[in-house]
Protein backbone atom coordinates (compact mmCIF):
# COMPACT_ATOMS: atom_id res chain seq x y z
CA UNK A 1 0.00 0.00 0.00
CA UNK A 2 1.21 3.50 -0.81
CA UNK A 3 1.10 6.59 1.40
CA UNK A 4 -1.59 8.11 -0.84
CA UNK A 5 -3.97 5.51 0.60
CA UNK A 6 -3.82 4.64 4.29
CA UNK A 7 -5.36 1.78 6.24
CA UNK A 8 -6.00 1.83 9.97
CA UNK A 9 -8.36 0.45 12.58
CA UNK A 10 -10.60 2.85 14.46
CA UNK A 11 -9.06 3.55 17.88
CA UNK A 12 -12.39 3.11 19.68
CA UNK A 13 -13.55 0.04 17.78
CA UNK A 14 -11.01 -2.32 16.25
CA UNK A 15 -13.75 -3.97 14.17
CA UNK A 16 -13.92 -0.86 11.97
CA UNK A 17 -11.32 -0.34 9.24
CA UNK A 18 -10.59 3.19 8.01
CA UNK A 19 -9.44 3.47 4.40
CA UNK A 20 -8.39 6.98 3.43
CA UNK A 21 -7.42 8.54 0.10
CA UNK A 22 -4.70 10.99 1.05
CA UNK A 23 -3.81 13.18 -1.91
CA UNK A 24 -5.52 16.49 -1.07
CA UNK A 25 -2.96 18.61 -2.92
CA UNK A 26 -4.30 17.01 -6.15
CA UNK A 27 -7.90 17.00 -4.89
CA UNK A 28 -7.48 13.25 -4.37
CA UNK A 29 -7.25 12.56 -8.10
CA UNK A 30 -7.03 8.86 -8.92
CA UNK A 31 -3.66 7.88 -10.32
CA UNK A 32 -2.08 4.42 -10.41
CA UNK A 33 -0.72 4.72 -6.87
CA UNK A 34 -4.16 5.57 -5.49
CA UNK A 35 -5.88 2.75 -7.36
CA UNK A 36 -3.31 0.16 -6.29
CA UNK A 37 -3.41 1.55 -2.76
CA UNK A 38 -7.18 1.10 -2.69
CA UNK A 39 -6.88 -2.40 -4.09
CA UNK A 40 -4.37 -3.34 -1.40
CA UNK A 41 -6.49 -1.75 1.34
CA UNK A 42 -9.69 -3.52 0.28
CA UNK A 43 -7.83 -6.85 0.12
CA UNK A 44 -6.39 -6.24 3.57
CA UNK A 45 -9.85 -5.43 4.90
CA UNK A 46 -11.39 -8.52 3.31
CA UNK A 47 -8.76 -10.77 4.91
CA UNK A 48 -8.88 -9.07 8.32
CA UNK A 49 -11.07 -9.52 11.38
CA UNK A 50 -12.65 -6.10 10.82
CA UNK A 51 -16.42 -6.23 10.27
CA UNK A 52 -16.95 -2.91 8.52
CA UNK A 53 -14.88 -0.37 6.57
CA UNK A 54 -15.23 3.34 5.93
CA UNK A 55 -13.87 4.77 2.68
CA UNK A 56 -13.12 8.49 2.98
CA UNK A 57 -10.71 11.14 1.74
CA UNK A 58 -8.53 13.92 3.11
CA UNK A 59 -9.54 17.56 2.69
CA UNK A 60 -12.81 19.48 2.40
CA UNK A 61 -12.68 20.43 -1.28
CA UNK A 62 -13.03 16.99 -2.82
CA UNK A 63 -13.59 13.36 -2.07
CA UNK A 64 -11.92 12.95 -5.45
CA UNK A 65 -12.06 14.70 -8.82
CA UNK A 66 -11.77 11.35 -10.60
CA UNK A 67 -8.99 10.04 -12.79
CA UNK A 68 -5.78 12.07 -12.80
CA UNK A 69 -5.71 13.27 -16.41
CA UNK A 70 -1.95 13.90 -16.25
CA UNK A 71 -1.21 10.43 -14.88
CA UNK A 72 -4.27 8.19 -15.26
CA UNK A 73 -4.44 4.73 -13.68
CA UNK A 74 -3.84 1.75 -15.95
CA UNK A 75 -6.91 -0.20 -14.85
CA UNK A 76 -9.15 1.92 -12.67
CA UNK A 77 -11.52 -0.98 -11.96
CA UNK A 78 -8.78 -2.64 -9.89
CA UNK A 79 -9.40 -0.18 -7.05
CA UNK A 80 -13.20 -0.43 -7.14
CA UNK A 81 -14.83 -2.43 -4.34
CA UNK A 82 -17.01 -5.23 -5.64
CA UNK A 83 -15.07 -5.28 -8.92
CA UNK A 84 -11.30 -5.14 -8.38
CA UNK A 85 -11.76 -6.62 -4.91
CA UNK A 86 -14.94 -8.58 -4.22
CA UNK A 87 -15.78 -8.70 -0.53
CA UNK A 88 -18.81 -9.86 1.44
CA UNK A 89 -18.09 -7.28 4.14
CA UNK A 90 -19.89 -3.90 4.14
CA UNK A 91 -18.25 -0.61 3.15
CA UNK A 92 -19.53 2.85 4.06
CA UNK A 93 -18.51 5.73 1.79
CA UNK A 94 -17.98 9.11 3.41
CA UNK A 95 -17.85 11.96 0.88
CA UNK A 96 -17.46 15.72 0.72
CA UNK A 97 -16.81 18.35 -1.92
CA UNK A 98 -16.42 17.22 -5.52
CA UNK A 99 -16.98 13.56 -6.36
CA UNK A 100 -16.43 13.32 -10.09
CA UNK A 101 -16.30 10.60 -12.73
CA UNK A 102 -14.46 7.50 -11.58
CA UNK A 103 -14.61 8.69 -7.99
CA UNK A 104 -18.37 8.32 -8.11
CA UNK A 105 -17.89 4.69 -9.21
CA UNK A 106 -16.05 4.05 -5.92
CA UNK A 107 -18.99 5.52 -4.01
CA UNK A 108 -21.59 3.76 -6.13
CA UNK A 109 -20.13 0.37 -5.26
CA UNK A 110 -20.18 0.97 -1.50
CA UNK A 111 -23.12 -0.23 0.57
CA UNK A 112 -23.99 2.98 2.42
CA UNK A 113 -23.10 6.61 1.69
CA UNK A 114 -22.85 9.61 4.00
CA UNK A 115 -22.39 12.97 2.27
CA UNK A 116 -21.37 16.37 3.62
CA UNK A 117 -23.70 19.15 2.57
CA UNK A 118 -21.07 20.59 0.20
CA UNK A 119 -20.89 17.38 -1.85
CA UNK A 120 -21.28 17.69 -5.61
CA UNK A 121 -21.56 14.55 -7.72
CA UNK A 122 -20.76 14.82 -11.41
CA UNK A 123 -20.19 12.39 -14.28
CA UNK A 124 -18.87 14.41 -17.26
CA UNK A 125 -17.54 11.58 -19.45
CA UNK A 126 -20.10 12.14 -22.23
CA UNK A 127 -18.86 15.71 -22.49
CA UNK A 128 -15.15 14.78 -22.53
CA UNK A 129 -15.44 11.78 -24.85
CA UNK A 130 -14.41 8.87 -22.63
CA UNK A 131 -15.96 6.28 -20.36
CA UNK A 132 -14.89 3.04 -18.73
CA UNK A 133 -18.46 1.77 -18.69
CA UNK A 134 -18.69 0.90 -14.98
CA UNK A 135 -21.10 3.81 -14.53
CA UNK A 136 -23.86 1.72 -16.17
CA UNK A 137 -24.45 0.09 -12.79
CA UNK A 138 -25.92 3.42 -11.66
CA UNK A 139 -29.14 2.54 -13.51
CA UNK A 140 -29.57 -0.54 -11.31
CA UNK A 141 -29.15 1.45 -8.10
CA UNK A 142 -31.25 4.60 -8.54
CA UNK A 143 -34.34 5.41 -10.68
CA UNK A 144 -33.65 4.96 -14.39
CA UNK A 145 -34.48 8.49 -15.55
CA UNK A 146 -32.35 10.04 -12.79
CA UNK A 147 -29.47 7.71 -13.69
CA UNK A 148 -29.68 8.68 -17.36
CA UNK A 149 -29.76 12.37 -16.46
CA UNK A 150 -26.69 11.95 -14.28
CA UNK A 151 -24.75 9.80 -16.75
CA UNK A 152 -25.55 11.67 -19.96
CA UNK A 153 -25.86 15.36 -19.09
CA UNK A 154 -22.74 15.81 -16.95
CA UNK A 155 -24.44 18.34 -14.70
CA UNK A 156 -23.74 18.96 -11.03
CA UNK A 157 -25.89 16.95 -8.64
CA UNK A 158 -25.81 18.33 -5.12
CA UNK A 159 -25.97 16.50 -1.82
CA UNK A 160 -29.65 17.16 -1.10
CA UNK A 161 -30.81 16.00 -4.53
CA UNK A 162 -28.54 12.96 -4.22
CA UNK A 163 -30.34 12.14 -0.99
CA UNK A 164 -33.76 12.76 -2.54
CA UNK A 165 -33.11 10.32 -5.42
CA UNK A 166 -31.48 7.63 -3.29
CA UNK A 167 -27.81 8.06 -4.18
CA UNK A 168 -26.85 8.72 -0.55
CA UNK A 169 -28.30 7.65 2.80
CA UNK A 170 -27.63 10.76 4.85
CA UNK A 171 -26.54 14.39 4.42
CA UNK A 172 -24.77 16.16 7.28
CA UNK A 173 -22.96 19.50 7.72
CA UNK A 174 -19.39 19.58 6.41
CA UNK A 175 -17.05 18.28 9.09
CA UNK A 176 -19.56 15.84 10.56
CA UNK A 177 -19.53 13.27 7.76
CA UNK A 178 -16.92 10.94 9.24
CA UNK A 179 -18.67 10.82 12.62
CA UNK A 180 -21.94 10.06 10.84
CA UNK A 181 -20.27 7.27 8.88
CA UNK A 182 -18.85 5.90 12.14
CA UNK A 183 -22.39 5.74 13.54
CA UNK A 184 -23.36 3.40 10.71
CA UNK A 185 -20.13 1.45 11.11
CA UNK A 186 -20.69 0.95 14.85
CA UNK A 187 -24.08 -0.63 14.13
CA UNK A 188 -22.60 -2.89 11.45
CA UNK A 189 -19.65 -3.86 13.66
CA UNK A 190 -22.07 -4.91 16.40
CA UNK A 191 -24.32 -6.90 14.07
CA UNK A 192 -24.14 -10.61 13.32
CA UNK A 193 -21.33 -10.96 10.73
CA UNK A 194 -22.82 -14.01 9.03
CA UNK A 195 -26.16 -12.26 8.55
CA UNK A 196 -24.57 -9.04 7.26
CA UNK A 197 -22.35 -10.96 4.84
CA UNK A 198 -25.16 -13.24 3.69
CA UNK A 199 -27.43 -10.28 2.96
CA UNK A 200 -24.64 -8.50 1.07
CA UNK A 201 -23.89 -11.63 -0.98
CA UNK A 202 -27.57 -12.15 -1.81
CA UNK A 203 -27.92 -8.51 -2.85
CA UNK A 204 -24.83 -8.87 -5.07
CA UNK A 205 -26.63 -11.74 -6.82
CA UNK A 206 -29.82 -9.68 -7.10
CA UNK A 207 -28.57 -6.34 -8.43
CA UNK A 208 -27.70 -6.62 -12.16
CA UNK A 209 -24.08 -6.12 -13.20
CA UNK A 210 -23.26 -4.05 -16.27
CA UNK A 211 -21.12 -5.49 -19.12
CA UNK A 212 -18.01 -3.51 -18.09
CA UNK A 213 -18.39 -4.69 -14.50
CA UNK A 214 -18.74 -8.34 -15.52
CA UNK A 215 -15.82 -8.03 -17.92
CA UNK A 216 -13.58 -6.45 -15.27
CA UNK A 217 -14.31 -9.22 -12.75
CA UNK A 218 -13.50 -11.87 -15.37
CA UNK A 219 -10.33 -10.03 -16.40
CA UNK A 220 -9.22 -9.86 -12.77
CA UNK A 221 -9.48 -13.65 -12.48
CA UNK A 222 -7.50 -14.14 -15.68
CA UNK A 223 -4.80 -11.72 -14.55
CA UNK A 224 -4.52 -13.61 -11.26
CA UNK A 225 -3.80 -16.79 -13.23
CA UNK A 226 -1.32 -15.03 -15.51
CA UNK A 227 0.57 -13.46 -12.61
CA UNK A 228 0.51 -16.53 -10.35
CA UNK A 229 3.55 -18.54 -9.27
CA UNK A 230 2.21 -21.45 -11.32
CA UNK A 231 2.01 -19.19 -14.36
CA UNK A 232 5.67 -18.23 -13.94
CA UNK A 233 6.62 -21.86 -13.37
CA UNK A 234 4.80 -22.97 -16.49
CA UNK A 235 6.59 -20.40 -18.64
CA UNK A 236 9.95 -21.24 -17.09
CA UNK A 237 9.43 -24.97 -17.57
CA UNK A 238 8.50 -24.49 -21.21
CA UNK A 239 11.59 -22.36 -21.79
CA UNK A 240 13.84 -24.84 -19.97
CA UNK A 241 12.24 -27.90 -21.66
CA UNK A 242 11.34 -29.64 -18.39
CA UNK A 243 8.12 -30.79 -16.71
CA UNK A 244 6.54 -28.03 -14.65
CA UNK A 245 6.08 -28.35 -10.88
CA UNK A 246 2.81 -26.66 -10.04
CA UNK A 247 1.82 -25.76 -6.47
CA UNK A 248 -1.59 -24.21 -6.97
CA UNK A 249 -0.42 -20.71 -6.11
What CATH class is the domain 5-240?
Answer: alpha beta
CA distances from 112 to 45, 180, 235 (A): 17, 11, 44
Q: Would you place residue 2 in the very low, low, confident or very high pLDDT band (cuts 50, 70, 90)?
A: low
Q: Would you place residue 174 in the very low, low, confident or very high pLDDT band (cuts 50, 70, 90)?
A: very high
pLDDT of 197-238, one tens digit each?
999 999 999 999 989 999 999 988 898 899 999 999 999 999
7 CB-near residues (< 8 Å, 6+ apart): 1, 17, 18, 19, 40, 41, 44, 45
What is the pairing mode between strands 112-116 and 170-172?
parallel
Hey, where are the domains in the chain? 5-240
Specify the pTM.
0.92
Amino acid sequence: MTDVVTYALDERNQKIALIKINRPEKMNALNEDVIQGLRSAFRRYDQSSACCAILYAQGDRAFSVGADITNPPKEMWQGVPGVGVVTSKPIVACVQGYCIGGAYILVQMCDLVVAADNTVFKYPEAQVGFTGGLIAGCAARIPHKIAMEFMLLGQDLGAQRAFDVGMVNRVVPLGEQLNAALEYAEILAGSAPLVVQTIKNLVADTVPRGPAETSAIARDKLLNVRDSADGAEGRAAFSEKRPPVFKGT
